[in-house]
Amino acid sequence: MAASSGAVRRRSLEPAERAPGNLDAVHGRTQESGPLELDQLIHERVRLGIVSALAVNGSLTFTDLRDLLGTTDGNLSAHARRLEDAGYVACKKSFDGRTPRTEYGLTEVGKRALNAYLDHMEAIIDATRE
Amino acid sequence: MTSPARQLRGKDERAPVALSDRAMDNLRFIRETMERSASFTHVSGIGGVAMGLVAVAAAWAASRTTSDGAWLSIWLGAAGASFALSAFLMGRKSRAEGVALLSGPGRRFAWSMTPALAAGGVLTAALARGGHFGLLPGTWLLLYGASIVTGGSHSVRPVPVMGMAFMLAGVAALASPPAWGDAYMAAAFGGLHVVFGLLIWRKHGG
């Protein structure tokens, strides 16, 4: 059984916000293959929402993202800034007439990070099924 | 509530299940966010232009008929031809982009249009049976516009704007003499489709 063989380190999973920083024992992985780090930057819900939405749209405006995720301007701005600082999203500022327009797009680094996160979630599900 | 089977398990065995649930919840959140954020971009600009040309031809033919039955047949035939053309061209655009036409956003687009179109079908039958052919152009424009506005809320911006223009044309047609019906149909179903079709074609592809 996965749990008894220590498929996933349980201690690092509670509470959710501090959840698994270093899941290096997911089933099928060895210490040699390197630790399976959970990307805390993407793991947060608003940031996960931003990255997911940008993955299927070439670009989205600040307003699109705010309405889609049902968050406030300040909250979205703070989370988008963290993703931008990490190089996951690129921000382009322009003017639509006289109205300022902020547009976000997912970078290659961001795409790779989302794919790694998806792989990680699938690995956890697979590990607990066995 | 905790299930009896779960209560029997030891504390150590419960945690991985919760972890798996959380992982599945995260995957579900990602999928739902992707679906909600995706616009239906496969409205065909060429399809809009083609529908406009069909409408102009139908308006010309309908204005020359003397019987209400023939007039109605021409417009229903034009509606069927336009629907088929539009579905074919949207399907072609979707295939070119490697996406199924009736994937999440496409399905929402179609379902959102259905109630107003169904209402239009029922009203067409009722008005034609009562002999109120003069009310049909305004009714069609109003309800077609409403269906485009609702469907267009899942699509690129020119689509709902076009829907609103159709609704305004419908209101104007209902307030105008019945004899102007074909002119309104040519201007709206013809002109608006061509203008917005070209706009969509230029900005969002064929």
Question: What residue spans define the domains of chain A?
Answer: 11-129
pLDDT digits (tens, 9 = 90+) for A36-60: 567 889 999 999 999 999 988 777 8
Contact in structure between B176 and B188 (CB atoms under 8 Å) = no
* Per-residue pLDDT tens digits of chain B, which is 206 residues long: 444 444 434 444 455 557 888 899 999 999 888 877 766 566 778 888 899 999 999 999 999 998 999 999 999 999 999 989 888 888 887 777 656 666 666 777 788 889 999 999 999 999 999 999 999 999 999 999 999 999 887 777 788 899 999 999 999 999 999 999 999 999 999 999 999 888 888 776 66
Give the residue extent of every domain in chain B: 4-37, 45-204
Among the partner-chain residues B15, B26, B34, the one whose CB lies closest to the CB of A53 is B34
Here the ipTM equals 0.71
Q: Residues B175, B113, B56, B67: is their CA dihedral positive or negative?
A: negative
Question: Can you tell me the distance from the alpha carbon of B66 to that of B50, in angstroms, rounded to the nearest whole number?
Answer: 27
CATH number for region A11-129:
1.10.10.10
Identify whether the C-beta of residue B147 lies closer than 8 Å to the C-beta of residue B163: yes
Q: Which residues of A touch B41 (CB under 8 A)?
A: none
Encoded tokens for A126: 């697979």
Q: What is the pLDDT of residue A102?
A: 92
Give me B16's structure tokens.
């991985």
By C-alpha distance, the chain B residue nearest A65 is B37
Place of tokens 């600082």: A85
State residue A101's pLDDT score.
Answer: 86
Distance from CA of A56 to the nearest CA of B (A): 6
Structure tokens at B147: 């269906």
